[in-house]
Amino acid sequence: MMSDTIQYDKGSFRDPSGRVFYYKDEVYRCLNMDAFSLMQEIEKNGTLSRLTELGYLIPTELVPEGTSLHKTLQNEVPLATRFLHHEKVPVISYPYEWSFAMLAEAAKLQLKLQLELIEKGYSLKDASVFNVQFIHCRPVFIDILSIEKLWLKEVWIAYGQFCRMHLFPLLLKYYKNTGMKNNFLTNIDGISIEEVYSMFGFFGSMRPALFLDVFLQNISQKAASQKRTELKKKIGQGGSSTTPQVINIKRMLKKIDKLVNNKNHTGHWKNYVSTNTYSEEAESEKISFVTDFLKEYSPETVLDLGSNTGQYSLLASQHGADVIAVDSDHDSVDLLYQEAKKKGAKILPLWVDLANPSPSLGFCHTERKSFMERINAEAVFALALMHHMLITSRIPLAAIRDFFLDMTGKFLVVEFVAREDEMFQQLLALREDIYSSINRETFLSVFSEKFEFVSERKIAGTSRILFLFRKKNR
């Protein structure tokens, strides 16, 4: 929502060099003089435009002094005198919502960015995973103030943080199949080398793929702070080379590519399309209903809840919508990301349990917004989802309705699954049957309290019905 008042981003308050704020639905950053001087330098020598053209850095411009915009921002932020204007990221997501391939792409972006910066005499002073956002399936670096002069050539000073927040979660997922989500939800600064070493053990961390980044790093960790102090003394001495740092970064790029290329997918729902209970005719009807909606109403944004491997997300994207595809099955999200990336589809896949969506995190629970605060769309798809929420998660029908209501700006396309449906009965097995009142009439009665009925279509050969609702004005 557009606002004529300054709204500070609560996730950037820690940076002493500058702070992100929003004004009239645009994104700005106020800077101190040292940071602004560096930004002027990288703009003048072409580094800023080069990184933007490569797609590594969010498009950024310096706000010229003396312009009406500069004067307005000075009035709104009286203690600041220098400003940047950033392109806005449409949807904010966080690493605990990304799949394996997405985290790998974010990691590779930071490594490639560091290589480019080294060539120009600069470096990334930190490698926080939160410095990356996704625009559809493309990662982009958003924290321009992480760029500094290259004062240490032999090693990347942010290597340890890169491992904690990128490489270690990838290695643990690949070798131990540990949940990446918990790594970030419980460790906002990443997982420590001590924890990683203990999980792999002495002999496990000795394997070739882990020796440098786990075994040796664990040995040298105790002297890390002393080494940083000693290395800083080398500034200005000259004679050092960036070759060791470049070799190490390229090594990590190859390692991450190998992890992604060799990753197996074993998720329960990854073969949903080929194993679901629909006949070819029923599937065709379902596609037709969704396609008719997309053609008639042309929603600009679609939120596909319970997207599986993204059949309907891809369909919505083909009809011009920007899509957020959400599913609780990691492998389904990972496969959709790789498919959408290959096709250049306007889809942002997110790995989220809708019965327990991402919470607010950070200092005072304000640095990272909750899923519900960030995610919304003009139209919501809830196809073959509601019975899972009802039975598996034991969420009452009215609560599901209100959840959909909060998620959509206008439309809801929802699939009703009757009690006699095969999947409904499978989910109900060994559970208490408290769903005797669940039928079409009850469903319509509950949803019609807050949604306007538009149309419905029974799926041939099944007890399932597709509904289109419009959100009532409140």
CA distance 172 to 330: 15
Residues 132 and 138 sit within 8 Å (Cβ to Cβ): no
Task: Tell me the pLDDT tens digit for each residue of 106-150.
Answer: 999 999 999 999 999 999 999 999 999 999 999 999 999 999 999
Neighbours of 327 (CB within 10 A): 28
Q: What is the pLDDT of residue 14?
A: 86
C-alpha 409/C-alpha 265 separation (Å) is 34
Given pLDDT bands bounded at 50, 70 and 90, which one contains residue 187? Answer: confident
pLDDT more than 70, % of the chain: 92
Beta-carbon neighbour count of residue 22 at 10 Å? 16
Residues in the chain: 474
Q: What percent of the chain has pLDDT over 90?
A: 75
Q: Which residue's entry shows tokens 């009532």? A: 472
| Calpha distance 342→357 (Å, rounded) | 28
Confidence of residue 428 (pLDDT cuts 50, 70, 90): confident
How buried is 178 (Cβ within 10 angstroms: 0-12 exposed, 13-18 middle, 19+ buried)?
middle
3-state secondary structure of 458: strand
Residue spans of beta strands (DSSP E) within 217-314: 301-305
Tens of pLDDT, residues 406-419: 999 999 999 999 88
Strand partners, 414: 382, 467
Question: Cβ atoms within 10 A of the Cβ of 128, count?
Answer: 20
Which pLDDT value is given to residue 271? 57
- What phi and psi values does residue 122 have, to the nearest 5 degrees? -125, 180
- What pLDDT does residue 5 have? 83
Residue that the structure tokens 């002999």 belong to: 203
What angle, 0 to 180 degrees and rounded to 10, lies between the N-to-C axes of helices 100-120 and 243-262? 160
Structure tokens at 149: 């002069």
Partner residues linked to 452 by β-bridges: 470
What is the residue-averaged pLDDT of the chain?
91
As a whole number, mean pLDDT of residues 16-39 equals 93
pLDDT tens sequence across 431-468:
888 878 888 999 999 999 999 999 999 998 888 999 99
Q: How many CA atoms lie within 13 A of 80 on its CB side?
A: 26
| Mean pLDDT lowest among 232-236, 267-271, 414-418 | 232-236
Q: Say what the pLDDT of residue 235 is.
A: 47
Residue 42 reports pLDDT greater than 80: yes
DSSP state of 365: G
